Structure 1
Amino acid sequence: MSESMLAVRDLRKSFHVAGGGKKKLCALDGITLDLARGETLGLVGESGCGKSTLARTLLMLEKPDSGSVQFDGVDPFSLRGKDLLKFRRRVQMVFQDPYASLNARMSAGDIIAEPWRSHPGTYRNRRERQTRVRGLLDLVGLGAGAADKYPQEFSGGQRQRIGIARALALDPDVIICDEPVSALDLSVQAQVLNLLNELQQQLGIAYIFISHDLSVVRHVADRVAVMYLGRIIETGPTEAVFDRPNHPYTAALMSAAPTLDGAQRKQRILLKGEVPSPLNPPSGCRFRTRCWKATEICATTEPPAALDPAVVGHAAGCHHPLLSEGATLTSVPA
């Protein structure tokens, strides 16, 4: 998983606010991340931090104000015509709500085959399409007989399997999963997560997995990126971010995660105050208004990305990181 397929650098996206005059809401502010082939990147953070906006931008449903996105060295926003259509096959999405994301008037087979209407020529004839639909239904564990049934005839977990099959229809390299199991029962969540893992092992797909459920992210992700008010404030291997968070916000987030082992439960960190408005974010460090370690430099200077020498690939943007005794951070240029 060392080969970087997706490279995002200093991505920024703002939205005009209705009735706000010249005010803009900064949804993404300098996002930088990488995604390797066959890797799962977990994206976590509070509601409104920019996770879904980042997903929509990578899907090319939003155009960034600045920064760059590279898929295998190609900028998708520079593509036009057939090249753009060909690229759109590479990134697909599994939605949060398995009920609202499927058309109740279409059969499961028609839902899965619908992407091919936008990509004519994928299969030569109807027989090939029907064979592929049956194959996808078998792949996600529903069976070919489900093709003629309608969404209302399936359970929530089965509907999400149809959504996954639809995402696989165009043989993508990346699937963005936006809270794909949050609407499902706990036992069904495990089945869907196991399915996603099996598909990744078979097909080599990379996932960007957006979730509020930290236990789910810990189970599925190879690396984790933590977002706060439009910025990625910490990123690294999953175990390192969960067990050795370097940013105070990450530490507070992880301390709130439930655990079955009472002896190993971390002391809960309660943050004071509310999340600042993205219309008027704090200067310097975005988290400083809620941080117990904030000093004057936090208000005047944006913290640089910094590497933790104890864990390869673990970085946090903080002037006063929470490190184990004797460890230091090595600043790296933005």
Structure 2
Amino acid sequence: MSEPLLQVRDLRKSFRVPGNKNRLCALDGITLDLNRGETLGLVGESGCGKSTLARTLMMLERPDSGTVRFDGIDPYTLRGKELLKFRRRVQMVFQDPYASLNSRMSAAEIIAEPWRSHKGMYANRKDRDMRVRGLLDLVGLGAKAADKYPQEFSGGQRQRIGIARALALDPDVIICDEPVSALDLSVQAQVLNLLNDLQAQLGIAYIFISHDLSVVRHVADRVSVMYLGRIIENGPTEAVFDRPNHPYTAALMSAAPKLDSALRQERILLSGEVPSPLNPPSGCRFRTRCWKATEMCATTAPPHAVDPDIDGHAAECHHPLLSEGMLATA
């Protein structure tokens, strides 16, 4: 099996908070892989660190420690032209299709804007115009949309322009930060299908950040569940959804709507509030809301509990829900 395109190991990032002696711990030992041409779903409550992780992988934030390898390269060692060349390979589609597009620029100008920084790409005006129209065709808008402005498009059409802009630099990875949350359900399906078609056609890998579990289940090959700066469960999508090992994951999945009544389960209601990342609990960070917590959970960080039946499925828990036959590793 080939090496993952992106490898993140023990990534940590904290921030100073004015008037507080403690640092806000946004990422606390994040480890994940992203393979070529796959979609990794990233889920969790607001404030768990998903967007900080996205900004760090985009090199908009520098980690405190840990390693990132992209196609075998540490991007944080790059400078000058090599860094600019690397930035082409990771792009982003933003949550708000209204705020992320400049209303004073036409669709063609928005899509072509990245080439102003990467001057060697489509320097010839004729080539540039042809590429813009090709990208508009690729995202289903057509070349006639080139001269229109954002306010002349619907929300779904604006997001298609944002996707075309992300594709303009021929990236290997696109980070999708809640890309359909601002859209109507019918439009969401169209945009998700477009992303799937583009992945099949171009071989792009996605990191797909979302609160909507039904969307993640539809698009993701694997899922990582975040809680207070840590990935507490990860694995193939069907395994994480159908046989969650971590109590927090089980609570999330119980809240997800299901059309098939046979698949519905009793809602797991969590007690208490999410702890502050300025002062996270000792031991297991979820223990203050967990119905399975014991004294050990307060004193000792949980190990990885590996599912022996499903490759790549693991959870950070002293008392995994599928405890029989689970293998604990450090």
TM-score, normalised to structure 1, is 0.97
SS in 2 for 1:27: strand
Tell me by how many angstroms 1:241 deviates.
0.2
Q: Hey, which bits of structure 1, 4+ residues long, moved more than 3 A? A: none
For 2:3 and 2:184, locate their aligned partners in 1 and report how far apart those are by CA, in whole Å: 36
For 2:117 and 2:301, locate their aligned partners in 1 and report how far apart those are by CA, in whole Å: 44
Tell me by how many angstroms 1:330 deviates.
1.5
Partner of 1:6: 6
For 2:198 and 2:245, locate their aligned partners in 1 and report how far apart those are by CA, in whole Å: 33
SS in 2 for 1:30: strand
One-letter amino acid of the structure 2 residue matched with residue 15 of structure 1 = F
One-letter amino acid of the structure 2 residue matched with residue 7 of structure 1 = Q
One-letter amino acid of the structure 1 residue matched with residue 8 of structure 2 = V
Counting matched residue pairs gives 330
For 1:135 and 1:268, locate their aligned partners in 2 and report how far apart those are by CA, in whole Å: 47
Partner of 2:160: 161
For 2:329 and 2:82, locate their aligned partners in 1 and report how far apart those are by CA, in whole Å: 36
Partner of 2:33: 34
**Alignment check: 8 A CA contact 2:107 2:148 kept:** yes
Partner of 1:88: 87
Partner of 1:299: 298
Tell me by how many angstroms 1:124 deviates.
3.1
Tell me by how many angstroms 1:2 deviates.
5.3
**Could you list the runs of 5+ residues in structure 1 that have no partner in the other structure?**
none
For 1:189 and 1:31, locate their aligned partners in 2 and report how far apart those are by CA, in whole Å: 29
Report whether the alignment pairs 1:150 with 2:138.
no
Partner of 1:170: 169
For 1:305 and 1:12, locate their aligned partners in 2 and report how far apart those are by CA, in whole Å: 18
One-letter amino acid of the structure 2 residue matched with residue 181 of structure 1 = V
For 1:165 and 1:101, locate their aligned partners in 2 and report how far apart those are by CA, in whole Å: 13
Tell me by how many angstroms 1:50 deviates.
0.1
For 1:289 and 1:142, locate their aligned partners in 2 and report how far apart those are by CA, in whole Å: 49
Report whether the alignment pairs 1:62 with 2:61.
yes
For 1:140 and 1:253, locate their aligned partners in 2 and report how far apart those are by CA, in whole Å: 33
**Alignment check: 8 A CA contact 2:305 2:320 kept:** no
Tell me by how many angstroms 1:310 deviates.
1.3
Report whether the alignment pairs 1:106 with 2:105.
yes
Deviations along 1:85-130, one digit per CA (max 9) or x if unpaired, are 0000000000000000000000000000000001101123111111
More displaced 10-residue stretch of structure 1: 199-208 or 261-270: 261-270
Partner of 2:329: 332
**Alignment check: 8 A CA contact 2:22 2:279 kept:** no
Partner of 1:308: 307
SS in 1 for 2:146: helix
Partner of 2:209: 210
Partner of 2:96: 97
Percent of aligned positions with the same letter in both sequences? 84
Partner of 2:237: 238
One-letter amino acid of the structure 2 residue matched with residue 5 of structure 1 = L
One-letter amino acid of the structure 2 residue matched with residue 300 of structure 1 = T
SS in 2 for 1:181: coil
One-letter amino acid of the structure 1 residue matched with residue 86 of structure 2 = F
One-letter amino acid of the structure 1 residue matched with residue 7 of structure 2 = A
For 2:177 and 2:59, locate their aligned partners in 1 and report how far apart those are by CA, in whole Å: 15
One-letter amino acid of the structure 2 residue matched with residue 214 of structure 1 = L
Report whether the alignment pairs 1:43 with 2:33.
no
**Alignment check: 8 A CA contact 2:29 2:230 kept:** yes
More displaced 10-residue stretch of structure 1: 2-11 or 173-182: 2-11
Deviations along 1:174-211, one digit per CA (max 9) or x if unpaired, are 00000000000100000000000000000000000000
Tell me by how many angstroms 1:264 deviates.
1.9
More displaced 10-residue stretch of structure 1: 117-126 or 30-39: 117-126
For 2:263 and 2:207, locate their aligned partners in 1 and report how far apart those are by CA, in whole Å: 29
For 2:40 and 2:201, locate their aligned partners in 1 and report how far apart those are by CA, in whole Å: 18
One-letter amino acid of the structure 2 residue matched with residue 296 of structure 1 = E
Two-structure CA RMSD over aligned residues (Å): 1.0
For 2:157 and 2:2, locate their aligned partners in 1 and report how far apart those are by CA, in whole Å: 34
For 1:136 and 1:3, locate their aligned partners in 2 and report how far apart those are by CA, in whole Å: 30
Deviations along 1:141-191, one digit per CA (max 9) or x if unpaired, are 000010000000000000000000000000000000000000001000000
Deviations along 1:195-235, one digit per CA (max 9) or x if unpaired, are 00000000000000000000000000000000000000000
Partner of 2:253: 254
Tell me by how many angstroms 1:259 deviates.
1.0
For 1:321 and 1:313, locate their aligned partners in 2 and report how far apart those are by CA, in whole Å: 15
For 1:130 and 1:82, locate their aligned partners in 2 and report how far apart those are by CA, in whole Å: 25
For 2:174 and 2:262, locate their aligned partners in 1 and report how far apart those are by CA, in whole Å: 37
Partner of 2:197: 198
**Could you list the runs of 5+ residues in structure 2 that have no partner in the other structure?**
none
Partner of 2:226: 227
For 1:265 and 1:116, locate their aligned partners in 2 and report how far apart those are by CA, in whole Å: 49
Tell me by how many angstroms 1:139 deviates.
0.2
For 2:78 and 2:304, locate their aligned partners in 1 and report how far apart those are by CA, in whole Å: 31
SS in 1 for 2:85: helix
For 1:284 and 1:2, locate their aligned partners in 2 and report how far apart those are by CA, in whole Å: 35
For 2:304 and 2:52, locate their aligned partners in 1 and report how far apart those are by CA, in whole Å: 22
For 1:61 and 1:312, locate their aligned partners in 2 and report how far apart those are by CA, in whole Å: 33
One-letter amino acid of the structure 2 residue matched with residue 332 of structure 1 = T
More displaced 10-residue stretch of structure 1: 298-307 or 161-170: 298-307
Partner of 1:137: 136
For 1:298 and 1:56, locate their aligned partners in 2 and report how far apart those are by CA, in whole Å: 31
